[in-house]
Every structure is written in C-alpha cells, then in structure tokens.
Amino acid sequence: MVQIQVVEFNGAIHDVEALEGQTLLQATLDAGIDGFAAECGGCCVCATCHCMVQTEALHRLAPAASDEEQMLDFTAEPREPNSRLACQIKITPEHAGIQFFMPKRQY
Ligand code: FES
C-alpha cells in the first residue's frame, strides 16, 4: 500500500491507500471520493480526470506521455504547470505522501 492524499476543491483532505501499480484515478474511485468524472474510463481521451500534483512533489512522477500531454490542453479548468490526468498516473512507492488536488470542475 502507498499512502497518498487527495484534496477536494472544497478543501476536504482524504487519506487514500493506493495499491502499487494502480492508477490515481482507480485508487480515488475505490476510496469513494467524488471529483473525477473519468468519462472515458481511463483511456486518456476525455480529460475529465484532471488533477494538480503537489508542486514540490512533481519531480517524483514519471513525465506525462505525449497522449496525456495533448489531452491536458482540453481540461475544463485551465491547465496548470502541475496539471496531470489521474488515469495516467501509476502509483509507485516513490509517491508516498504526495497530495493530489482536484479542480473545481471537470466539465
Ligand atoms: S479518465 Fe478520461 S482521460 Fe482520464
């Protein structure tokens, strides 16, 4: 298990225990947290699983692949330098303790 935190737009902080290799999207859904519409089910074609990574921890994630990079231009809330798609983040032990922030809206 990898302990991470998911922070809703309203400030609610959730401790989430993710499985290694699981996506951030799946870990968040399994924890029963709303906030990712994830319309495409994790196929990297909808941009409704937008999140922002704790800035200081950004370097601990593998860089976005080109398809994620392209989809990040279609998020409902403006793309930030620390924006990522939750369905494309595979949780590893290096991610322990990272906070992931949800935007105000996904549409
Ligand atoms: S769930 Fe559709 S891009 Fe992530």
Our answer on whether the CB atom of 42 is closer than 6 Å to any ligand 1 atom is: yes
Hey, what domains does the chain have and what are their CATH numbers? Answer: 2-101 (3.10.20.30)
Mean pLDDT for the chain?
A: 98
Model confidence at 66, in pLDDT bands (50, 70, 90)? Answer: very high
pTM confidence score: 0.97
Q: What's the pLDDT tens digit per position in 27-36?
A: 999 999 999 9
d(CA 107, CA 3): 28
Two tokens at 4? 């991470």
- Most informative mutation of 22, 24, 26, 44 for ligand 1 (most atoms within 8 A of CB): 44
**What per-residue confidence (pLDDT) applies to 39?**
97
Average pLDDT, integer, range 61-84: 98
What is the position in ligand 1's atom list of the atom closest to the CA of 40? 2
What is the CA(65)–ligand 1 centre distance, in A? Answer: 13
- Please, which residues have CB within 8 angstroms of residue 91's CB and are 6 or more apart in sequence? 2, 4, 18, 19, 20, 21, 22, 23, 24, 27
Model confidence at 26, in pLDDT bands (50, 70, 90)? Answer: very high
Our answer on whether the CB atom of 72 is closer than 6 Å to any ligand 1 atom is: no
